[in-house]
Amino acid sequence: MSPVATRPDPVAQAVARTAAAAPDWATLADAARSCVACPELAASRRHVVVGDVPESGRPRFALVGEAPGATEDETGRPFVGRSGALLDQLLAEAGLSRADAAVLNVVKCRPPGNRTPKSFEVVRCSGWLNRQLELLDPPVVIALGLSAAKWFLGPRTVLAQVRGRPHEVDGRVVWATYHPSAAIRFGPNGAPRAGLLADLTAVAESLR
Ligand code: URA
Ligand code: SF4
């Protein structure tokens, strides 16, 4: 899957070709770390946050976020800041283990000031995510937040209309739910936190 591009982007096509040629995760990660397809992001990032994979290399499920934040950019690892801490807590409450998961993002480089990634950045980075999903082949994907939900379910996706139930996309089961940053923004008694926990719990039940 990938978002619909209005016209062909030769840079995105070059990324996709490079990614598709990577025979394994390590080769793909090396190639992604030197990617400069998005000039603004490549100039301001400290790390390309390629993603985490379980030691087994065989995730039971994949978590897909939007893009790295400040802590992720500093450390080079996904979901290790405030959103990551809440995500870890809710995963544990739901009965899911992060050690079983691939942790990925739609866009691998931090957008300055945590702005939403531009659509051309999403298009250019999609080659990496497509190949990551091919190589890891997670049976279940949890899309966190609207950017990831749109990536899997299409540009007109409305989160409230798609969350809470599984969708089939290219032979994979995809759940879309709130991003932990929304759960933080709306507080411990807000709807996003409860919805995120309910959806993670439903995924856990489906995996049992
Ligand atoms: N938010 C995301 O979408 N991804 C991360 O890796 C961290 C915060
Ligand atoms: Fe490359 Fe993705 Fe970073 Fe853009 S966001 S420079 S496509 S790795």
> Which whole number is the average pLDDT over 138-162?
98
Q: Please name which ligand lies nearest the alpha carbon of 85.
A: 1
Q: Which residue owns the Cα nearest ligand 1 atom 7?
A: 79
Dihedral sign (CA 40, 44, 47, 52): negative
pLDDT, position 7 = 79
Q: What percent of the chain has pLDDT over 90?
A: 95
pLDDT at 1 over 90: no
Ligand 1, residue 66: give the atom nearest the CA.
3
Q: At what angle do helices 10-21 and 119-136 cross, to 10 degrees?
A: 10
Q: Please name which ligand lies nearest the alpha carbon of 28.
A: 2
Per-residue pLDDT of 37-66, as tens digits, reads: 999 999 999 999 999 999 999 999 999 999
Lowest mean pLDDT among 6-10, 38-42, 62-66, 151-155: 6-10
pLDDT at 83 over 70: yes
Query: Ligand 1: does its nearest atom lie under 6 Å from the Cβ of 73?
Result: no
Ligand 1, residue 80: give the atom nearest the CA.
7
> Which whole number is the average pLDDT over 4-13?
84
> Which whole number is the average pLDDT over 84-91?
98
> Which whole number is the average pLDDT over 111-115?
97
pLDDT at 163 over 80: yes
How far, in Å, is the centroid of ligand 2 from the Cα of 46?
Answer: 12
Q: What is the mean pLDDT of the chain?
A: 96
Ligand 1, residue 180: give the atom nearest the CA.
1
Q: Please name which ligand lies nearest the alpha carbon of 112.
A: 2
Domains, the chain, ranges and CATH? 10-207 (3.40.470.10)
> Which whole number is the average pLDDT over 87-111?
98
Query: Ligand 1: does its nearest atom lie under 6 Å from the Cβ of 111?
Result: no
pLDDT, position 3 = 58
Query: Ligand 2: does its nearest atom lie under 6 Å from the Cβ of 28?
Result: no
Query: Ligand 1: does its nearest atom lie under 6 Å from the Cβ of 79?
Result: yes
Ligand 1, residue 144: give the atom nearest the CA.
3
Confidence of residue 2 (pLDDT cuts 50, 70, 90): low
